[in-house]
Amino acid sequence: METEFVDWLLRRIPADVRLEVPPGDDAAVLRPPAGRRTVVTTDMLMEGVDFVLGPDCPPQAVGHKALAVNLSDLAAMAARPEAIVVAVALPRHGGDAIARGLHEGIAALAADHGVTLAGGDTNAWDGPLVVTITAVGSVAAGVAWRRDGARPDDLLVVTGPCGGSILGRHLAVAPRCREALAIAARHTVHAAIDVSDGLSLDLSRMMAASGAAAVVDLAAVPIHPDAERLAARSDDRRSPLDHTLADGEDFELVLAMPPADARALVADPPPGLAPAIFGVVQAGSGLLARAADGTTRPLEPRGFIHAFDG
């Protein structure tokens, strides 16, 4: 029952100085860090769309992913994670065990990133599991990374190889929060976005926001070994590069940076990163693909988009 679960949950939430009023009241009261701006993001995960519960995807993995995708959004703003609010719609059958597993996955990742659980809501229904997390971060005034700042001659950097995430990385998401803060402390970043829906699709969104074009050097796009494995399957008709450009759920960061900063980042990256320069920003609009011989052609942005009609 909801009351017993909430009582169980409240006993497991550590006290945190950032909460003037902790979980258990009608709402939490946060103490924002002095001199910093508040960054807020939210993401919803639905069974059958973002995950399928089962032996390869227990509730703990869903909890981890639900928080990780929100932390990735904060990383794309170079924001420090602070607090989260969690809302879940639980299946009536087996909902208690699912809820406890979700908390286990969320709590482990929250502790790893210094995030406090500020509250939330639980509901039960006859539908599938739905998890929504709202994450709150902070950033110094005027320095948040945005999508709309890319400039001609900026180099495009992706913080790691992409593609083939469906083989397991779509659940074991590693948000680049610490890495983003380390990059922001050392380098200039004009624009940033995280790769949630597809490298080419998310890059096109950054270029559209910036009013600029991107030239992607196809030979320089870093291909994840998972993309190679997926393309090698007998029933797969796509190349590793195609998977890299369009699969999504890689949750690496794409950065538009001045050339000197981009090269310095690649030469001396934060621990755990394998960044690569894969293109350049130029005046215009849209995406271009540049082959090894220097010829260019239009590059169609592709990835995952939720579809619904009027």
Q: Report pLDDT digits (tens) over 217-228.
A: 999 999 999 999
* pLDDT tens, position by position, 10-47: 888 888 899 999 898 899 999 989 999 999 999 999 99
Q: b vs e for 284-310, b when ≥16 Cβ sit within 10 Å of the residue's Cβ? A: eeebbbbeeeeeeeebebbbeeeeeee
Residue 307 within any structural domain of the chain: no
308 within domain boundaries: no
Same domain, 278 and 169: yes
Domain containing residue 213: 155-298
Q: Does the pLDDT value for residue 1 go beyond 80?
A: no
Q: Are 279 and 254 in contact (CB under 8 A)?
A: no
Instruction: Using the structure block, give the residue that is written with the tokens 């790691």.
Output: 160
In this predicted structure, what is the pLDDT of residue 2?
78
Whether 221 and 163 share a structural domain: yes
Please indicate, yes or no, if residue 70 is contained in any of the structural domains. Answer: yes
Shared-domain flag, residues 179 and 283: yes
Verify that 69 and 180 share a domain, yes or no: no
Report residue 32 as tokens. Answer: 């924002």
pLDDT tens across 173-199, in order? 999 999 999 999 999 999 999 999 999
Give the residue, 69 or 237, on which the prediction is more confident. Answer: 69
In the structure, how many helices (H) and strands (E) does the chain have?
A: 8, 13
Q: Does 95 fall in a domain? A: yes
Instruction: Say if 149 falls within a structural domain.
Output: no
Least Cα distance to 104 among 73, 136, 139, 60 occurs for 60
CATH code (residue 290) = 3.90.650.10
Number of domains comprising the chain: 2
| Residue 260 is assigned to a structural domain of this protein | yes
Specify whether 59 is located in the same domain as 103: yes
Same domain assignment for residues 59 and 107: yes
> Model confidence at 79, in pLDDT bands (50, 70, 90)?
very high
Q: Is residue 303, in this structure, part of any structural domain at all?
A: no
Q: Is residue 9 part of a domain?
A: yes
- Statement to judge: residues 112 and 235 lie in one domain: no
CATH code for position 21:
3.30.1330.10
